[in-house]
Amino acid sequence: MNAALDGAEGQDQLLQTARAWLAQDPDAETRAQLRAVIEGAEAGDGAASADLADRFAGRLAFGTAGLRGELGAGSNRMNRVLVAQAAAGLAAYVRERAGAARTPTVVIGYDGRRNSDVFAQDSAELFAGAGLRAILLPRLLPTPVLAFAVRELDADAGVMVTASHNPPNDNGYKVYLGGADEGAQIVSPADAEIAAHIQRIADAGDVAALPRSLGYEIAPESLVDAYIDATAAVAPAPEGAEGLRWVYTAMHGVGWETLSRILDAAGYPPPVPVEQQLDPDGAFPTVAFPNPEEPGAMDLAFETARSTNADLVIANDPDADRLAVAVPDPHAAGGWRRLTGNQIGLLLGWRAARLAREGGAGPGASLACSLVSSPGLKAVADHYGLDFHTTLTGFKWISRAPGLVFGFEEALGYLVNPETVRDKDGISAAVAMLGIVTEARGRGESLARVLAEFDATFGFFASDQISIRVDDLSRIERIMAGLRERHPDSIGSVAVDRIEDLLEGVEDLPRGDVLRLWMADGSRVIVRPSGTEPKLKIYLDVRGDSVDDARARLTALTDGAHALLDEAG
């Protein structure tokens, strides 16, 4: 009797919450969507009731990645109500941080995903209504342009509306801070402080009551021009670049317009574009998952490369903050092989270290990478007498490494121009990679040959990753808990030497939900939940005496890690 009463009361409360949300929603599409679900739940439709419960199962959490989630009505989705609350909360935080003596500035950018322009416009109006100087970028542009704008305009904060490489029906809200943060993404405690302001706005009720103003500014084209000039200067084309044949895909994103102008300014030959994926399209019609790392995402690029006898394939993700590179390989399926994020990062790090030494970099100049990225970068830093820093995953941490001249993480993210952009930048990384390739061509060498030279100089490093996508996040929690309760003695035939649990604290690293296993043969295994997707990720790194030895060690370690995960959950 009581359980039934509690169920009825709970359903009534859920319907009351949903109706209150509906009343303040300014979006006709999500209003109609939510109204239909409410009516179904009121009529006793079990599926509608379950849908409603999921839409209001808490709030989409605001954290160090800002907001990111599926589009739709409800507090557990990305929509105009949630974005309005986030914008008003961020405005309150920025005003509090700036103090009463001055008017703080916020700059807003957006990409080509569904509703990105709408969320950006709402944010600009709400920032201006809150008394801030709000500057909206002139059109849809890559995330690195927004990160650049925060520093170039000396803004207090920046917002980029994007879900990067997430599935097509997702969107997000990424926040940067100026001042002492130098245009980097937010980290703790700023995330919690902003989230508290957002919660106060949400608790107050109707977002329609929040003050809005059309008194925001549109950033001048000169701002975009400044980014283009700075990025073209990363690696001006050497002589002989005009003979390079290469293919480019924007993955239905916003990278092409900006990159094409940079190529002209830097002197590189235009690529053969993947026409079907060149223009922004938030439906992502040719890819199930717009991430160059995902199987099949680069198939059209490889097809174009085969038909044009290209030397190289370069891809950006939809907001152009990541870079993928592929090279011809007769042993690979289809004749093309995508380089790993570690391979690209080590080549770019080698280039950066060499330039730093040639440029007379002072004491404290450093290379940095996330703790899950290849330890080969430390070998590069040691070779050139540079400092080296390991950080937690994410460029919010990498960008804060002291003395940084280059940083990367294996998930196709590279920071090659820290004086310009304090975030990963797939466009400047593409220019740097074109510089590496064309310089090698001038010596009669391929990119594959440059990779072999790296191995001969720094050691034979090999990496792999196991990624488990789940529908139920509790499975990830069970696996992590199981590994903590029963530390493995070995992985495959290799003994575990020691285990570091970052939840318990590890020197020089913030606490995090990460297990790092050091093996008796010097190999390394790291296990952590993804910060942006429903995945558990396992990273494996080995160093061998030769390419074949490294590959054999890696294969054995990967097989052992699969078996370990099967046992853990």
Residues with catalytic annotation?
164
* DSSP code at position 238: P
Q: How far is CA 433 from CA 302, 426, 564, in A?
A: 18, 10, 37
Q: What does the DSSP assignment read for 418-444? A: TTT-SS--HHHHHHHHHHHHHHHHHTT
Find the DSSP H helices in 99-232: 116-129, 143-152, 190-204, 221-232
Spatial distance between the Cα atoms of 120 and 136, rounded to a whole number of angstroms: 8
Give the separation between CA 332 and CA 488, rounded to whole angstroms: 35
DSSP state of 66: B
Q: In what order do the strands lie in the sheet with 312-316?
A: 272-273, 246-249, 312-316, 323-328, 336-338
Cβ neighbours of residue 307 closer than 8 Å, sequence gap 6 or more? none
- CA end-to-end span of the chain: 37
Cis bond leading into 189, ω under 30°?
yes
Answer whether 15's CB lies under 8 Å from 49's CB: no
Among candidates 297, 294, 270, which has minimal Cα distance to 286? 297
* Residue that is written with structure tokens 């460029």 in the block: 395
Pairing relation of β-strands 184-185 and 170-177?
antiparallel
Phi-psi region of 74 (alpha: psi -120 to 50; beta: other; left: phi over 0): left
Residue pair 489/510 in contact (Cβ under 8 Å)? The answer is no
Contact of 427 with 250, CB cutoff 8 Å: no
288: Cβ–Cβ under 8 A, 6 or more apart, which residues? 294, 296
Coil vs helix vs strand at 210: coil
408 and 349 in contact (C-beta within 8 Å)?
A: yes
From CA 395, how far away is CA 72, in angstroms rounded? 28
Beta carbons of 176 and 63 less than 8 angstroms apart: no
Among candidate residues 114, 237, 132, the one with its CA nearest the CA of residue 123? 132
Measured at the CA of 52, the angle between CA 48 and CA 54, to 5 degrees, comes to 120
Query: What is the spatial distance between Cα 171 and Cα 114, in angstroms, rounded to a whole number?
Result: 7
Amino acid sitting at position 550: A
Q: Residue 167 is which amino acid?
A: P
Q: Are 279 and 290 in contact (CB under 8 A)?
A: no
Is the omega angle on the peptide bond into residue 26 within 30 degrees of 0, that is, cis? no
DSSP assigned state of 1: -
